Chain A
Amino acid sequence: MLSGHDSDHDEVHTVNEFPRDALILGGNRIPFARAGGAYAGISEQDLLTAALEGLVARFGLQDEQLGEIAGGAVLKLAGDLNLTRESALGTPLDPRTPTIDLSRACATSLETMVHVSNRIQLGQIDSGIACGVDSASDAPIEVTPALRRILHRASAAKTAAQRLRALAAIRPSHLAPLPPRNSEPRTGLSMGEHQALTTAQWGIGRAEQDELALASHHRLAAAYEAGFFDDLVTGYRGLARDATLRPDTTLEKLGALKPVFGAGTPQVAEPTMTAGNSTPLSDGASSVLLGSEEWAAGKGLVPLARVVDARSTAVDFTRGDEGLLMAPVHAVPELLDAQGLTLQDLDLYEIHEAFAATVLTTLAAWESEEFCRERLGRGGAMGAIDRTKLNVTGSSLAAGHPFAATGGRIVATLAKLLHQRAAETGRVQRGLISVCAASGQGTAVLLESVSS
Chain B
Amino acid sequence: MSAVHRGERVKDLADVPSFPAVYAAALDPRSRRRAAEPPVLPAIAYRVRAVRIDAERARDFDHLLGGAATDIVHPGVLHVLAFPVSLALMARRDVPFSLLGLVHLRNQVLQHRPVRVGERVDVECRMRELRPHRRGHTVEVVSTIHAADGEIVATDVSTYLATGEQSSRNPSGDGAGSAAVGAAAGPGATGPGGSAGSPRSAGREAFVPPRPSGRWRLAADTGRRYAAVSGDANPIHLTALSARAFGFPRAIAHGMYTASRALTESRVDLSRPLRWDVTFDAPVTLPGTVLVSYQDDPSTGSVRCVGWRAATEEKGPRRCFEVEVTMLAR
Name the contact of B214 in the complex, choosing from A265, A266, A318 (C-beta under 8 A): A318
Would you call B66 and A267 a contact (CB within 8 A)? Answer: no
Would you call B209 and A189 a contact (CB within 8 A)? Answer: no
Docked complex: A247-283 residues within 8 A CB-CB of B: 265-267
With a cutoff of 8 Å between Cβ atoms, the chain B residues found around residue A197 in the complex are 211-212
Would you call A320 and B216 a contact (CB within 8 A)? Answer: no
Which 6 pairs of residues, A with B, have the shortest CB-CB distance?
Answer: A320-B213, A187-B214, A188-B215, A319-B294, A267-B211, A188-B214
Query: A361 CA to B41 CA in the complex, in Å?
Result: 61
Give the residue name and chain of the B residue nearest to A318 (CB).
B213
Name the contact of A320 in the complex, choosing from B212, B265, B310, B311 (C-beta under 8 A): B212
Docked complex: B299-330 residues within 8 A CB-CB of A: 310-311, 317
Would you call A318 and B310 a contact (CB within 8 A)? Answer: no
When A187-B213, A267-B211 are in contact, do A319 and B310 touch as well, CB less than 8 Å? no
| A185 on the B face (CB < 8 A) | yes
Report 6 cross-chain contacts, Cβ distance below 8 Å, ordered by A residue: A173-B221, A186-B66, A187-B215, A189-B215, A197-B211, A320-B211
Q: Mark each residue of chain A from 182 to 216: 1 if its CB lies under 8 Å from any CB of chain B, else 0.
A: 00011111000100010000000000000000000
| B293 on the A face (CB < 8 A) | yes
Query: A317 CA to B66 CA in the complex, in Å?
Result: 17
Would you call B296 and A319 a contact (CB within 8 A)? Answer: yes
Give the residue name and chain of the B residue nearest to A201 (CB).
B211
Would you call B214 and A189 a contact (CB within 8 A)? Answer: yes
Would you call A267 and B212 a contact (CB within 8 A)? Answer: yes
Query: A163 CA to B191 CA in the complex, in Å?
Result: 46
| B131 on the A face (CB < 8 A) | no
Would you call A188 and B221 a contact (CB within 8 A)? Answer: no
Query: A319 CA to B63 CA in the complex, in Å?
Result: 21
When A173-B221, A185-B66, A320-B293 are in contact, do A265 and B265 touch as well, CB less than 8 Å? no
Would you call A188 and B293 a contact (CB within 8 A)? Answer: no
Query: A202 CA to B215 CA in the complex, in Å?
Result: 21
Docked complex: B210-226 residues within 8 A CB-CB of A: 211-217, 221
Would you call B221 and A319 a contact (CB within 8 A)? Answer: no
Sample of 19 more A-B contacts, CB < 8 Å, known A265-B212, A318-B213, A318-B267: A145-B63, A185-B66, A186-B214, A186-B265, A187-B213, A187-B214, A188-B215, A189-B215, A193-B215, A197-B212, A266-B209, A267-B211, A317-B213, A318-B214, A318-B265, A318-B294, A320-B212, A320-B213, A320-B214
Give the residue name and chain of the A residue nearest to B209 (CB).
A266
Query: A320 CA to B303 CA in the complex, in Å?
Result: 13
With a cutoff of 8 Å between Cβ atoms, the chain B residues found around residue A318 in the complex are 213-214, 265, 267, 294
With a cutoff of 8 Å between Cβ atoms, the chain B residues found around residue A185 in the complex are 66
**Distance (whole angstroms) from the CB of A115 to the closest CB of chain B:** 27
Query: A333 CA to B298 CA in the complex, in Å?
Result: 25
**Distance (whole angstroms) from the CB of A44 to the closest CB of chain B:** 28
Would you call B211 and A188 a contact (CB within 8 A)? Answer: no
With a cutoff of 8 Å between Cβ atoms, the chain A residues found around residue B217 in the complex are 188
**Distance (whole angstroms) from the CB of B223 to the closest CB of chain A:** 14
With a cutoff of 8 Å between Cβ atoms, the chain A residues found around residue B296 in the complex are 319
Query: A197 CA to B214 CA in the complex, in Å?
Result: 11
Query: A186 CA to B265 CA in the complex, in Å?
Result: 7
Docked complex: B170-197 residues within 8 A CB-CB of A: none
Query: A185 CA to B215 CA in the complex, in Å?
Result: 10
**Distance (whole angstroms) from the CB of B317 to the closest CB of chain A:** 8
With a cutoff of 8 Å between Cβ atoms, the chain B residues found around residue A187 in the complex are 213-215
| B295 on the A face (CB < 8 A) | yes
Query: A443 CA to B310 CA in the complex, in Å?
Result: 35
Docked complex: B257-279 residues within 8 A CB-CB of A: 265, 267
Query: A266 CA to B295 CA in the complex, in Å?
Result: 19
Query: A173 CA to B209 CA in the complex, in Å?
Result: 35
With a cutoff of 8 Å between Cβ atoms, the chain A residues found around residue B311 in the complex are 266
With a cutoff of 8 Å between Cβ atoms, the chain A residues found around residue B221 in the complex are 173
Give the residue name and chain of the B residue nearest to A322 (CB).
B213
With a cutoff of 8 Å between Cβ atoms, the chain B residues found around residue A267 in the complex are 211-212
Docked complex: A144-159 residues within 8 A CB-CB of B: 145
With a cutoff of 8 Å between Cβ atoms, the chain B residues found around residue A266 in the complex are 209, 310-311, 317
Most buried by B among A185, A187, A188: A188
**Distance (whole angstroms) from the CB of B46 to the closest CB of chain A:** 34
